[in-house]
Amino acid sequence: MCCGGIMPMRASWCTLLMTIACITVADDESCRTACYKDKIPMCGAWLVDDNSNDCTGTYQLNEGQVNLTCSMTSIPEPLQISWLYRAEFGSAWQPITCSSLNSAVSCRVNKVGEHRVTSNCLLKTDTLTLSGRYRCQAFERENNNDLVISSEAAINVVGIERFEVVHSSLRYGHPGHIEVEICANPKPEVVWLTRGAVLQPGHSTHRLSALQLMQLKSRNADRPQGPALPVPYCYRSHLVIGRVEGEDNYVSVIVRNEGETRNTPLKLHVVDLPSKAFMHKSAFTSYLAYFVLSALFALCFLTL
């Protein structure tokens, strides 16, 4: 089994800091076999087995683990196996740091004198950027640097990794806005909940407007004038307020995708809020004005 007792969810539809992880075998004459390029026993390396098909699938964020395994045989010496990763939207393979790396070496496993290495790379599903493709590989350096590559495991990690308010401007009686940042896979649905309105991106009321979800982009700190590049799985959502009112202290955001649903009340503060006595007076004045205007409209309508 791929997941040490936790089977992957049904398959559905960056990046980690990576350093190379490889298997080292101490010099040992018992793990060396004489070989030739033109006669038996021939020098070479061969993939015996891997569990990429068993591991391919969708995993819940922070639940379970991916347990990748591959086995190779070789002559004249045991191979050094490394694990590589390619981001879901990337093209380059990179070395990966496994959460746990174990290996087993067996010398002269058959009459020919082949040596077998089995490598086990354990990955914890603690970040969305684990989503991508994985494989093991090794070089057999005494036979024209032959490269042995396993099949690929396609891993998809789903859930909501981060949600936070990144900016808000709420001054009573003035235009305002609230901006939140969300990191989730797959791309989430967002719903803004206010006192009196439920808004999805692209919808609005007379006072509120929820803008479309936007891909988050950032610049490299070493190249502040360089291009802004997409941040994988991260988005920004804006709620624009035509005129801030006291009730705009109470806003929640629902974020939902295949992995989970989260309802988060926002910690907001409306500044320059009038005193309660003034607000009650304003509310009464507004109601009185509405009543007078309604009466005048009705009177005009009846006299037509």
Size of the chain, expressed as the number of residues it contains: 304
pLDDT (0 to 100) of residue 211: 97
pLDDT (0 to 100) of residue 146: 75
- Reported as a single tens digit per residue, the pLDDT across 179-201 is 999 999 999 999 999 998 999 99
Ordered structural domains, the chain, with CATH: 29-151 (2.60.40.10), 160-274 (2.60.40.10)
Distance (Å, rounded) from C-alpha 297 to C-alpha 264?
Answer: 43
- Reported as a single tens digit per residue, the pLDDT across 238-261 is 999 999 999 999 999 999 999 899
pLDDT (0 to 100) of residue 285: 53
Mean pLDDT of 102-110: 94
- What lies within 8 Å, CB to CB, of 39 at 6+ separation is none
pTM of the model: 0.78
Q: Residue 54: count other Cβ atoms within 10 Å of its Cβ.
A: 16
pLDDT tier at 221, thresholds 50, 70, 90: confident
Distance (Å, rounded) from C-alpha 293 to C-alpha 43?
Answer: 96
Nearest to 50 by CA among 64, 67, 29, 65: 67
Q: Which amino acid is at 135?
A: R
As given in the structure block, the two tokens for residue 223 are 């190249």
Mean pLDDT of 51-73: 96
Q: Is the dihedral of CA 282, 287, 292, 298 positive or negative?
A: positive
Mean pLDDT of 2-31: 45
Could you give the strand order of the β-sheet that contains 65-75, starting from the edge strand earlier in sequence? 44-50, 65-75, 115-124, 100-106
- Reported as a single tens digit per residue, the pLDDT across 22-41 is 334 445 567 899 988 888 88
Assess whether pLDDT exceeds 60 at residue 284.
no
Q: For the chain, what is the radius of gyration of the CA atoms?
A: 30
Nearest to 16 by CA among 129, 115, 122, 103: 129
Assess whether pLDDT exceeds 80 at residue 277.
no
- Reported as a single tens digit per residue, the pLDDT across 132-168 is 999 999 987 776 667 899 999 999 999 999 999 999 9
